[in-house]
Amino acid sequence: MKIDFTKEEFRNLLDMVFIASWVLENAESPQAPKTKKYRDLEQKLYAYVKKMGLEDEDLVEYVDEFKSYIPTSPYEEGSECRAYIDKYESEIFWDDLADILSERDMNNHENLLRLKTMTPREQIRVKLDIEEKYHMEFVENGLQNLYIVKIVPAMHPTSKRKH
């Protein structure tokens, strides 16, 4: 099978591969066996940069030490891809934080008792409502109102120790 790409299409494909590679490297060890097939494909595409007439764009370089192509610093830091990655990281940070805090709030002593009387659908609704409150807080104030409060174990409602 043969696929023909224009120079622009190939460059867009490289950008997509760069973003996908970044996701994989942040989810798995760079040398994880289960991602080898993706790294191999990435290398195959990077090897075609010169043939596709993109050598002047400073996208990748071959590093003898690693026996592989790697994205150049200007490409990693200055490309449009970096903007997508940064936006993604920011969105994921706020979503994950709201999710973790809502899980914590759902699992406090009072809520656990209340949740036992609810249907799964009602429980999901409560969690989503809590998440939404956190999202609104983060939109309005960022991390400004987020504090770490140390709870004395004997005073915590879920503590098994007698007060």
Tokens in use for 160? Answer: 């098994």
Instruction: Give which of 96, 83, 107, 105 is closest to 138, Cα–Cα.
Output: 96
**In the chain, domain spans:** 7-78, 89-155
Cβ neighbour number for residue 107 with a 10 Å cutoff: 11
Say yes or no to pLDDT of 154 above 90. no
* 157 pLDDT tier (thresholds 50, 70, 90): low
DSSP-assigned states of every residue in 98-114: HHHHHHHHHTSHHHHHH
Question: Of residues 106 and 99, which shows the higher confidence score?
Answer: 99
- Site of tokens 């993109």: 54
Stretch 102-106: mean pLDDT: 90
Instruction: Give which of 78, 58, 81, 84 is closest to 70, Cα–Cα.
Output: 58
DSSP state of 28: S
Q: What is the largest CA-CA distance in the chain?
A: 74
